[in-house]
Amino acid sequence: MKKIKGGVCAAQGFKANGVHCGIRKNKTKRDLTLIVSNVRCAAACVYTQNLVKGAPILVTKKHVADGYAQAIVCNSGNANTCNADGEAIAEGMCALVEKHTGIAASDVVVASTGVIGQPLSLEPIASGMSELAAGLGDHSDFAAQGIMTTDTVDKQIAYSFELDGKECRIGAIGKGVGMINPNMATMLIFVTTDAAISPAMLQKALSDDVKDSFNMVSVDGDTSTNDMVCVLASGLAGNSRIEGAGKDFTAFKRALNKVTTHLCRMIAKDGEGATKLLECKVSGAKSKRAAKTVAKSVIKSSLFKAAMFGADANWGRVLCAIGYAGADVDIKKVDVSFRSRAGELEVCRGGSGVAFSEETAKKVLSEDEIEILISLNDGRGKAVAWGCDLTYDYVKINGDYRT
């Protein structure tokens, strides 16, 4: 498996573009994205479990019910959520894609991101669709920029891998730095691949993957109304179509996880106001479920996140988060260390503190990527969760997000 360029356009048969159409006031910000395939694709999606769902999710569910899609359209700046005419607007966006590309509206995945509860007009989208469609090409970067809200960097990645003796490619773009505590899905993630795989197996691969990737990310503990992960598979790589479990399906899942894990790290590191990526690695749990529960609990702790912002080795907050996580843990067996490029610092052994240098701790925790290593010493279960520190800027960003 090799990292390659191209993002969401790396796989055979895919083109993309992103433009500013006028939804966002800042004319330098792209706010409309389109991804299309030359052929109809196997499609798989997962969605937020929030009971309040954006209208685009309801429309997308209908459009991919048969397991196929050929295009993705997404706007930023307005979530199209809690609007009386939301579904009509989402369907209108798909109709505009059909008008300008010839792809059936019923084969279009639609998504929106931005402010909740504000009416979304179809007018700017209609005025920008001609330019958007005409400019379709190898523009993964434009597409990634078109779905950003408070993101500070665009997020894209691609890998090549082999199936059945054929080179396959898989790439993605993603957005999301706030309202991140996904349940079954996350943020907005659009994945494309030229691997040949049935819709059923594609859905299985995605549903299995999000449990260990996107569901293990938390920025602020809030679950968005518009979270969606969508994968389109064109099949143009020419491998024998994956119809069931086996070595090819395992290889595909491994490639998918490479992409999703990379995006997990990018999203957590770019969390609203964040200065540090936190990666919590739990081992020695009684079960994988217990390990995941502990890892997520530590990553979500506001007190711990604040300590990491201040480079304060307040390991008691880690033990505290483990204690209320709800997992079956023997606290007297717990070991904790912090690790970064500046070194590794043991802070707790057998549930009790160990002496350490505050100067060394400051150096280790002042790096922009920090690992929290937790050994429960009670089994073979392990898990990884991703998060970020909690800073003054998080409050500043969300104090006037709407206005």
> Would the pLDDT of 384 be above 80?
yes
Residues 343 and 373: beta-carbon distance below 8 Å: no
Which residues is 162 bridged to in the sheet? Answer: 167
> Would the pLDDT of 254 be above 90?
yes
| Spatial distance between the Cα atoms of 97 and 315, rounded to a whole number of angstroms | 52
Give the pLDDT band (50/70/90) at residue 400.
confident
| Spatial distance between the Cα atoms of 353 and 150, rounded to a whole number of angstroms | 39
Helices (H), 54-160: 55-63, 86-101, 123-134, 140-146
CA-CA distances (angstroms) from residue 61 to 106, 190, 237, 325? 10, 15, 27, 33
Two tokens, residue 292: 């995941």
> Would the pLDDT of 328 be above 80?
yes
Report the pLDDT value the prediction gives residue 157, as an integer from 0 to 100: 98
0.85 surpassed by pTM: yes
% of residues, the chain, pLDDT over 70: 99
Q: How many residues in the chain?
A: 403
Report the pLDDT value the prediction gives residue 187, as an integer from 0 to 100: 85
Tens-place pLDDT, residues 35-77: 999 999 999 999 998 999 999 999 999 999 999 999 999 999 9
> Would the pLDDT of 272 be above 80?
yes
Tens-place pLDDT, residues 348-370: 999 999 999 999 999 999 999 99
Q: What is the mean pLDDT of residues 140-149?
A: 97
Residues 193 and 43: beta-carbon distance below 8 Å: no
> Would the pLDDT of 221 be above 90?
no
CA geometry: angle 93, 94, 97, nearest 5 deg: 95
186 is catalytic: yes
Pairing mode of beta strands 14-19, 343-349: unpaired
DSSP string, 149-170: SS-SS-EEEEEEEEETTEEEEE
- Which sign does the torsion angle of CA 276, 217, 213, 36 carry? negative
φ and ψ of 121, to 5 deg: -90, 145
Tell me the three state secondary structure of residue 91.
helix
Mean of the per-residue pLDDT values of the chain: 96
Residues 280 and 298: beta-carbon distance below 8 Å: yes
Task: Point out the catalytic residue in the list 33, 48, 60, 186.
Answer: 186
Report the pLDDT value the prediction gives residue 222, as an integer from 0 to 100: 86
Sorted by sequence, the CB contacts under 8 Å of residue 111 that are 6+ apart come out as 54, 56, 57, 60, 72, 73, 74, 75, 147, 188, 190, 226, 228, 230
Q: What is the mean pLDDT of residues 16-32?
A: 96
Report the pLDDT value the prediction gives residue 5, as an integer from 0 to 100: 97
| Spatial distance between the Cα atoms of 303 and 290, rounded to a whole number of angstroms | 21
Torsion of CA 18, 24, 29, 30, to 10 degrees: 0
| CATH number, span 2-269 | 3.60.70.12
| Spatial distance between the Cα atoms of 276 and 305, rounded to a whole number of angstroms | 10
Which residues is 44 bridged to in the sheet? Answer: 231
Which CATH code, of 3.20.20.70, 3.90.1150.10, 2.50.20.10, 3.10.20.340, is assigned to 277-399?
A: 3.10.20.340
| Spatial distance between the Cα atoms of 176 and 225, rounded to a whole number of angstroms | 12
Give the pLDDT band (50/70/90) at residue 185.
low
> Would the pLDDT of 180 be above 90?
no
Report the pLDDT value the prediction gives residue 274, as an integer from 0 to 100: 95
Q: Which helix (H) or strand (E) holds 382?
A: strand 381-388
Domains of the chain, residue spans: 2-269, 277-399
